[in-house]
Structure 1
């Protein structure tokens, strides 16, 4: 079995894949200083609960946008699974796609892995929207080349900025507003309308502009933790694929001869 690890700025996702099937997945808050031993105490117990023997993990692949976390994840693989972790984009785990931007080396591993997975799963030109700490929009052409994209603040970052820089605005939860009205009758409703519907308008506006620039029909694939939330509010998405990054890691591992 393959253990795929996607270390993002907010969460680290661990998933066990058997072939192309995801057997189990878990997430833990990202902490760059978390040691291999701390990961192991948590992860080995979860594997036990799922009935997956430690010895069944024969390969490990890591994708990270948090460089300081990589070393401890590699130590986790060595010490507790007796495996040398593959690192997405390095060595024989190259992305094998054309990264057609000014600075190819600056592309985040998660976005490159998403491009690999999206092209493998969906034909034609694509716009991949990943709702994470930041919200990213990535253009992948029909040949699988990464052509560039957009980085916007994630909705929770936007809310944090709003609350953190105002004296009297309360902390609210991000959810679909209960009323269809966009004229709020109290402070909390007005904040939710501004953040939620403002974000939907941003998504729809940026995708419209990207499609115009691409000049060909482009499917929109949404991924990330909040994708399902926004899917309720817009008909923009052709697919919502919560496991896109994990599936991309599985594809890269398979190409490298690991399963």
Structure 2
């Protein structure tokens, strides 16, 4: 990887205490993109610390002695481990300063796009070539919701659940109903609908993943953060379509709950990018 002379100048200025808080924060953002330069910063901070200590104790170092100090620092795994912990702590505080300037609730959608999130019927046909009744109703509910007739959509989904409880369409009806309830601000009610999807133990893992994702967001809105974290962690573990957004939300929840793992923070941040 090529050298970044401007970044090296900023590191030098940071070590010498010449950067403002805003400039220092921007430096850390750049360092996350160039982790190779974190080693340089650790070394320079260590050199500065040792030289200042020796100076305060009345030592006068020659250039040769200073060079030996640098090599000693680079070869000391104990120092590197200690410095790494400090560096990662500073990085985490700077990053989370950006993430926590607003409430956690502002990090989750106030509403989900119905067109993008509601489930419609797949092309399942019986031997006569006709759409099954349950799937036909599911499509009717989808069309009603998109046209703004929310009450009709809910009634249609309830009809599916009542008449076709054992059909795949009922699972989607629960999911769609939960999304509409979420969008209406009825987060507690939406959670019950999402749990119904999960309890059905569908073979369609995407539907289950969606249910956990929406449910986790609903718990955030209710400020039930432990339950939110449990749901979002499940989403992340499923390694599906919501893996990246679930990672970001999971880290923010961990911060709010005091669960941040500083030792693995840098690796976690890279993985979530």
Q: If the length of structure 2 is used for normalisation, what is the TM-score?
A: 0.23
Larger strand proportion, structure 1 or 2? 1
The structure, 1 or 2, with the larger RCO (C-alpha pairs under 8 Å, 6+ apart) is 1
Instruction: Please report the TM-score for the alignment, with normalisation by the length of structure 1.
Output: 0.23
Please say which structure displays the higher CA radius of gyration. Answer: 2
Looking at secondary structure, tell me which structure has more helix per residue. Answer: 2
